[in-house]
Structure 1
Amino acid sequence: MQHHVRPAGTPPTNGYSHAVSFAGPMLVISGQVPLDAEGRLVGYDDCAEQTRQVFRNLEAVLAAAGATMGDVVKLTVFLTTMADLAGFRSVRDEFVDPQRPPASSLVQVSGLVHPAFRIEIEAIAALRPPVE
Structure 2
Amino acid sequence: MMITRTNPPGLHSTPGYHHVTVVAAGRTAFLAGQCPLDSTGALVGRADVGAQVDQVVANTLAALSSVGAGPEHVVRTVIYVVSADREVLASVWSRLRESPLAVAFTTASTLLGVAQLGFPDQLVELDVTAALP
TM-score norm. by structure 2 comes to 0.88
TM-fit CA distance, 1:105 = 1.4
Stretches of structure 1 lacking an aligned partner (at least 5 in a row): none
TM-fit CA distance, 1:45 = 1.2
Identity %: 33
1:31 matched to which residue of 2?
33
Stretches of structure 2 lacking an aligned partner (at least 5 in a row): none
1:118 matched to which residue of 2?
123
TM-fit CA distance, 1:114 = 1.5
Cα offsets for 1:36-58 (capped at 9, x unmatched) = 11112111111111011111111
Structure 2 CA distance, aligned partners of 1:44 and 1:15?
29
Structure 1 CA distance, aligned partners of 2:56 and 2:47?
14
* Stretches (4+) displaced over 2 A: none
Alignment of 1:29-68 (within 5 A): 29-68=31-70
Structure 2 CA distance, aligned partners of 1:86 and 1:18?
18
Cα offsets for 1:83-122 (capped at 9, x unmatched) = 3212211221122228x71101122221011130011111
8 Å CA contact retained: 2:72, 2:103: yes
State the SS of the aligned residue for 2:11: coil
TM-fit CA distance, 1:10 = 0.6
TM-score norm. by structure 1 comes to 0.88
2:91 to 77, 87, 94: 87
Alignment root-mean-square deviation, CA: 1.5
Work out the number of aligned pairs and report it: 126
